[in-house]
Structure 1
C-alpha cells in the first residue's frame, strides 16, 4: 500500500505541476524577459541595494523605474511616431492619386545606363497614375491588412513589455529567495551536480547577454562610422538608434532609410557606399561577432553556439537567442559528463580483459 500511495502522490504532483504550467502558459514570454533582465542587471541591483542600506524593495522599485524610462518610454514614443508616419504615407498616396508624382529627381537621370529608362518609367507612372494606383489597390488593401495585423502584434508586445517590467520588480525583490528555491529543487532532482548546472546556465545566459549587448555596440560604432563618411546629418544620434534596433535585430530600419535619403538627395555614390557598408558591415558583423562573444570564455564549441543562436531564433523567435544556446549548453554538458563517467569504466573493463587474453 505504501508504494501505491507514493505512486498516487507522485501522479497528483505531476498533474498539479502540469496544471500550473498550463495556467502560466500565456505569461511565459513576459516571465522569461523579466528573468533575463533581472539576471543581466543583478550586479547593478546588488550595488544599489548596498547603497540604499539594504532596502531591497526600494532598490527594486528604483531599478525597475530606470528600466521603464530606458526601455518602455522610448518604445512607446517609437510606436506613436510609426503611427504618425503611417498617416503621412497614406496622405502621400492620396496626393499622388490626385496630383500625380512630383518632377523626377535630377540624380535619376544621371544613373549610368539606366538613367533615361528610369526617367521614362517615372513619366509613365505620372501620366497613368490613377490607373496604376487602381491596379495596385487590391495589393494596397492586403498591405493594409498586413500592417493592421503587425500593429496588433506590436500592441500585444507593448502589453507584454509592461507585464515584464511589473514582474521584473518581483524578480529583483524576491531574487535571493527564488535562487535558494531553484537550488534546493535542483539538488532534489540531480543531487550534487546542481551547482555545476546552475553555473553552466548562469554563465551561458550571461555570455548571451554580453554577446547581444557587445554586438549591438559594435554595430552602433560601425553605423556611426558609415554615417559620418557618407555625410548623414546626426550621425551620432543614428548610431545610438542603431544600438537600440540592433538589440531587436533590425538595424536595417536605421541605415536603410539613410540610404534612400542619400539617393533622393542625388548622392548616388555615397548611397551605394552606405548600402554596401550597411549590408555587409553593419548587418553582416552580427553573424560573426555575436557567436564569437557568446562562445568566448565558455567550454562550448563555436559550432554549437552557432546552431544554438540561429536554430533558437528560427524555433522560438527572438526569445530563442537566449533559449537556443542555453539548451544546447546544458545538453552538451550533460552528454560530456555522461561520456566522461563512462570512459573510465570502459577503460577499466578493457584493462581487465587484456590479462585474460594473455
Structure 2
C-alpha cells in the first residue's frame, strides 16, 4: 500500500502557530483588566441562575424585568454590605492605630477575678501581677509596633475604594449581560467544549457549573449563615466592634476554620469583665452556631452537585491559598472536573476478576 506523499511547509506552520500565540497573548493582555470582574460575574450568575429563572416566571416571563430585579438584589446583597464593611473597617481601625502608636495608653488587664478560683487562684493572680510588674511594659513595647503595622495595613487595604468600585461595577455590568444572554453564552461554551473534547468536554462544562453551584450553596451560604448568626450574638451581648468581628468570622468560615476562632475569645472577654450571664448566653449560642456547618454544609453541597464533600472542601481551601478569594470557586471546579474525567477513564477498563493468588503467580512468572 502506497501512502500519499504529504509535503509540509514547516515555516508556514511555525509562523502560523506563532501568529496564533501572539494573537492569544494580545487578547489576554487587552481583556486583563476585565478578567476578575467577569470571573466574579460568571460565578455569581451560575450560582444564582435558578433564582433568576424563578423570578422571571413570577414576572410574566419578562427577562428584562428579572435582570433588573437580580441586579438590584446583587447591589443589596453584595455591593452595599461590602461598602458598609469597608467604611466600618476604616472607622474602627483608626482608633486602634492611634492607640497602638502610643504605648503609654496600653495597659495589661488586672484580672482580679483570678483570686476567686479555688486552690490555684491566689498563686495565679500573684504570678500575673509579677509578670506585669517585671516585664509587662517591655512586652507591650515589643508587641506595639506589630499592632500598629497590622492596623495600618487593614486601613490601607480598606481605603482602596477606587479599585473596589471598579471591580464591583464590572461585576454588576457583566452579571446583567450574562443574566440577559445566559443561554446563548452557555451554548457557546458547550459548543467550544464539544469541538475541543467531544461529549466529555460538554460533560466537563456541565460538571463545572454544578461544582460552582455546590460551592456557592455549601460553603458560601453556610459561611454567611454562621457569620450572620454569630454577629447577631456578638451584637446582642454587647461585644465591641461586632461588625468587624463578623467580617473576620465570615473569612474564617470560608477558609473552613470556623466561627469559634472569634466567638471563643469573645466569651472569655465577657467572663473576664464579670458579665457571666451574657457570657453563658454567648457560650450556648456559639455551640449552636459552631455546629451548623456539620449539618447545613453537606446538605447544601449535595443539592448543588453529587460530589464528595472532601473533594469540595479540599478544592475550597487549596483554591483559596493558590488564587485568593476567587479560588473558592476555581479550586473545586478543577478538582471536580479532574475527578470525574479520571473516574470515567478508569471505569472504561474492566474491573479486575483474578484473585490475589493468581496475580502473584503471574508476577512470579
* TM-score calculated relative to the size of structure 2: 0.70
1:24 alignment partner, SS class? helix
Deviations 1:299-331 (A, max 9, x none): 544443343233222222332222222111111
Change (3 A) 1:108 1:289: same
Q: CA deviation at 1:287?
A: 7.8
Give, in whole Å, the separation in 1 of the partners of 2:199 and 2:218: 30
- Residues 84-233 of structure 1: matches in 2 within 5 Å? 84-92=91-99, 97=104, 101=107, 104=110, 106-107=112-113, 109-110=115-116, 112-113=120-121, 114-119=124-129, 121=131, 138-151=145-158, 156-157=163-164, 159-216=166-223, 219=226, 223=230, 227=233, 232=237
Deviations 1:88-126 (A, max 9, x none): 33455578736x75984643544553233334555678x
Give, in whole Å, the separation in 2 of the partners of 1:38 and 1:233: 37
Give, in whole Å, the separation in 2 of the partners of 1:204 and 1:91: 45
More helix by share: 1
- Residues 273-288 of structure 1: matches in 2 within 5 Å? 278=286, 282=289, 286=293
> For this pair of structures, how many residues does the alignment match?
336
| Structure 1 contact 107–263 (Cα < 8 Å) conserved | no
Q: CA deviation at 1:35?
A: 0.8
Which residue is 1:265 aligned to?
273
Give, in whole Å, the separation in 2 of the partners of 1:337 and 1:102: 61
Change (3 A) 1:14 1:72: same
Deviations 1:204-246 (A, max 9, x none): 2222222124533663698499x59xx8369xx99xx589826
**Unaligned stretches of 5+ in structure 1?**
348-358
Give, in whole Å, the separation in 2 of the partners of 1:199 and 1:11: 32
Relative to structure 2, which stretch is displaced further, 111-120 or 315-324? 111-120
Deviations 1:178-222 (A, max 9, x none): 112112212211223344223212222222222124533663698
Give, in whole Å, the separation in 1 of the partners of 2:292 and 2:165: 29
Which residue is 1:355 aligned to?
none
Change (3 A) 1:299 1:268: same
Give, in whole Å, the separation in 2 of the partners of 1:307 and 1:39: 21
Q: CA deviation at 1:37?
A: 1.0
Q: CA deviation at 1:133?
A: 6.0
Matched, 1:61 2:71: no
| Structure 1 contact 219–243 (Cα < 8 Å) conserved | no
Relative to structure 2, which stretch is displaced further, 12-21 or 75-84? 12-21
Give, in whole Å, the separation in 1 of the partners of 2:59 and 2:248: 31
Q: CA deviation at 1:77?
A: 1.4
**Unaligned stretches of 5+ in structure 2?**
1-5, 355-365
Give, in whole Å, the separation in 2 of the partners of 1:109 and 1:122: 16
Give, in whole Å, the separation in 2 of the partners of 1:82 and 1:218: 21
* TM-score calculated relative to the size of structure 1: 0.71
Give, in whole Å, the separation in 1 of the partners of 2:330 and 2:27: 21
| Structure 2 contact 224–250 (Cα < 8 Å) conserved | no
Q: Pick from 285, 306, 317: which aligns with 1:310? A: 317
Which residue is 2:25 aligned to?
18
